[in-house]
Chain A
Amino acid sequence: MLDAFTRIQLPLVGAAQPELPRSVGRWIQHSQGEIWFCALVFSAVTLLICVITLAEAHPLLQSGKTIKNINYQISANCSRLQNKVSGKSKRGAQFLTELAPLCRISSSDGEEYTIYSCIRGRLIEVNENILTNPALLQEKPSTEGYIAVVLPKFEESKSITQGLLTQKEYEEVLLKRRSSAS
Chain B
Amino acid sequence: MSPLTEKDRPIIQLLLSTGTCPRCVLRFCCVGSQMLYRHPHEELLKDLQKFLRNSHEEEGSVCLDVSNPPCKRLRLEPGEEGASDRNCNVAIPHLPGNICNVCLGVLQEFCEAGFVKKVCQKVNSADYQFISFVFSVSLPPQLSVRERAAWLGVKQNLGLPFPEDDIIQLKEAYKWIIHPQLSEELGVPADGKVFFSAFFFLRHILSLLFLVLDSLFYFTLQSVFTRMAVIKALEKIKEEDFLKHFPCPPSSPKNHCDALEIQCNNGAVFVAGRYNKYSRNLPQTPWIIDGERKLESSVEELISEHLMAQFKADSFNFSSSGREDVDVRTLGNGRPFAIELVNPHRIHFTTEEMRRLQQAINDSSDKIQVRDLQLVTRSAIGRMKEGEEEKTKTYSALIWTDKAIQREDITFLDDIKELKLDQKTPLRVLHRRPLAVRCRLIHTMRSEYIDEHHFRLHLKTQAGTYIKEFVHGDFGRTKPNIGSLLNRTADILELDVESVDVDWPPTLAD
Contacts and interface: CB of A to CB of B under 8 A. Distances in A.
A144 B433 CA distance: 22
Interface in B162-198: none
User: B290, B434, B492 — which one has the most chain A CB atoms within 10 A of its CB?
Assistant: B434
Contact of B400 (A12, A42, A88): A12
B327 A20 contact: no
Given A47-B431, A86-B434, A143-B475, A16 B290 contact: no
The secondary-structure label for the interface of chain B is loop
Given A12-B400, A17-B325, A19-B428, A44 B289 contact: yes
A15 interface: yes
A45 B287 CA distance: 13
Interface of B: 280-281, 283-284, 287, 289-290, 292, 294-295, 325-328, 400, 424, 426-435, 468, 472-473, 475-476, 489, 491-495
Interface of A: 12-22, 42, 44-47, 49, 51, 85-88, 90, 124-125, 127, 129, 136, 140, 143-144, 146, 149, 151
A128 to B, nearest CB: 10
A16 B475 contact: no
Given A17-B287, A17-B294, A17-B325, A12 B473 contact: no
Nearest to A19: B428
Given A16-B325, A18-B289, A125 B429 contact: no
B438 to A, nearest CB: 15
Q: Which 7 A-B pairs have the closest CB atoms?
A: A16-B325, A144-B476, A17-B326, A14-B327, A17-B283, A20-B428, A19-B428
A19 B433 contact: no
Contact of A146 (B325, B327, B475, B493): B475
B325 A87 contact: no
A12 B280 CA distance: 13
A143 B429 CA distance: 17
Contacts of A90: 434-435
A124 B326 contact: no
Nearest to A146: B475
A125 B435 contact: yes
Contacts of A140: 476
A45 B428 contact: no
